[in-house]
Structure 1
Amino acid sequence: MNVPDRPPGRARVAADAALGAVFAAALAVWAAAIADSWGGGYWRFDCAAGAVVCLIALVRRRDRLRAAVAGLAVAAAAILVARFAQLPGEPGPAMALALSVLVGSAIRALPVLPAGAVAAGGFAVAAGSLAAHKTSPGVPAVIVLNGTGWLAAVAIGLGLRLLDARRRAIAEKVRRDERLELARELHDVVAHHITGIVVQAQAGRLVARKHPEKVEGSLAGIEAAGSDALAAMRRVVGLLRDADDAAPATPGPEQLSELVRRFDGHGPAVRLRLPDGESVWPPEVTSTVYRVVQESLTNIARHAPQARSVTVSVAQDRQAVTVEVVDDAPPVAARHHHRGGYGLAGMRERVEALGGTLCAGPRLEAGWSVVATLPVPAGEPR
């Protein structure tokens, strides 16, 4: 059994409302056509059966497999009833459109075997409509419509399935890259502080031979260096705690709140500003926004211990997502060099690979600013 989809956002509700309006119009137009060509109440059966399949198509996201099976079963039953009760040929236009939605949705989202079974079922319904054909007004057009609808459903479903697979591959590549980035980050922290401890220990040996009375000071310096190493490692591990943190799979900014919450325990206070309403982004945009914030907060924890507050702002319009991370640390000359390391270069490469821009540098008054703008492709999956 497939897992139900996430609750629909405004875009999905609007899309389903538009689809429902199309279904209603198709039912009304075809009822009028049947009444005009057949007369009497022949249109009632077509409208009733078509309305059932249309309703199933509108709730398909709850369970795509069961919805597709139910819609195909109703369509097959309608074909048999229409054939033996001398009614207009089925499926009608509204039902054919609803079946296309069900079949295309199943092909896109279900595993290979169930998706193939649904596609075969759609073909069987289209073939059954042809087999049950009996010369009567309007039926040939219905047969053409059913075949065309099935072909369109298969083509669109496969195309969207390939597009989703490509997006998943991009997200997986980002995850791998983030794991490598984590390894480099930890290596840098450990190497820097352990090198300092080794140097102080070597100096302590010399002090012990020449000035024994100063050994306590050398040991205190080694202890302080060790404490700094532990604190730095805790900050990094606190921000990058597991592989899932590297590339969140959710299609929006939800994971940023958790990232900021963890950072609050390892650095200055952070204020997070997110766009109003539900934001749905492609996986590669989601992971890149997350990575920009993650890298920026990590740099603040490592290179700006004097910062008292950090503001993370995420804004979105129809064309792009903009993320800005600003801290208020006082300017330090040595800090600029560290802030321009390979972490910033990696962020810039990732942002530019998606067609975006990244600007980073010291602010005029105080602190550091990182601003990334990422284009968002128009039209998200329904």
Structure 2
Amino acid sequence: MRKILPIIVLSQFLCTTLWFAGNSIIGEIANELNLSADFLVQVTSAIQFGFIFGTLFFAIFTIADRFSPSLVFFVSSILAGIFNIGMSIESFNATELLALRFLTGFFLAGIYPVGMKIASDYFEAGLGKSLGFLVGALVLGTAFPHLLKTFISNFPWRYVIYVTTALAWLGGLLIFVFVPNGPFRKKGRKIKLNAFLDGFKIPQFKAAAFGYFGHMWELYTFWAFVPLMLKTYTTKYPETTLNIPFWSFSIIGMGTIACVVAGIFCLKMGTKKLASLALGVSGICCLLSPFFLENSSLLLFLIFLFVWGFSVVADSPLFSTLVAQSAPPESRGTSLTLVNSIGFSITIVSIQFLDYISKYIDTQYLFSFLAIGPALGLWALFLEKKTMKL
């Protein structure tokens, strides 16, 4: 049992390097295909759309509950890697690129939520700690392509694709070979098309899900726009020199530490209380962003982004824990997958919304709109707490 969690965590990291592989090299792709600078938004939305459709498919057909989660994880990693490496083909166009990102995202739906399902099948006690490590692996995997680009800056951009694909295939193989079905896995069920709605009949599940949705309004939009924040600062202060890929990796990667810390401390502070605290801090960061983008020194600006990068994802494993613990046991994998699907749908609305309003307001004030998510998430948690007291 001791080796299981490290293998799941390592595999999750290796496979989720696919997520922002396109984002890290979008500048080079845009130059090669003569695309506009805002194509980053379309690439990010494409993989998010793919993930959404994938999670809906996996949820409606209860894939993670009916079949071996380890097998689902393995097959998904192979297929996601195939569509990722498709970006290395010569002479593809923008439409084909978006299609490849969509299909990569579709099969990431068999990796991220299924990885959480596998962990919940092994670790009923201390699930928050386990998911803290697991979501931390996702964060590190998401940030890794930015670091990889820094290390292989003297090589063609396609090497980022080659490396991330190989890592994903390795991650899937590790799960398939070393992680059998967990001891707490419930027996699979037949297809029940409305099974994915069962969790929302439970008040605790509903509150945890809506808290997660508020968190997701902010999370991926923040991650997607970190390079823009850094670029905006260097444009405003031309004397400042920053290695944007490196600092993007560091700020996003800070979330790995946040998830591990949150997973450990939730055992002492309480999962819901700590999730509310992290959501509140990240919401305050949204509101303070105009000041730090405009008036702070470089050191203060970077410290602020690190604090934001820490708090923006610290609540992710906590909300996932609350969802998993309050979901019906026989459809836990399906419930986790559906909540992920809705959450990632919200990320697209958020990303597109910020892209739209960026045409009308100064970038300095743009990210304060991300506070909408934390505010609504905290409101949902407050209402559930108030209801439980009645």
TM-score between both structures, scaled by the size of structure 2 = 0.23
Structure with larger RCO (C-alpha < 8 A, sep 6+): 2
Question: More strand per residue: 1 or 2?
Answer: 1
TM-score, normalised with respect to structure 1: 0.24
Structure with more helix by fraction:
2
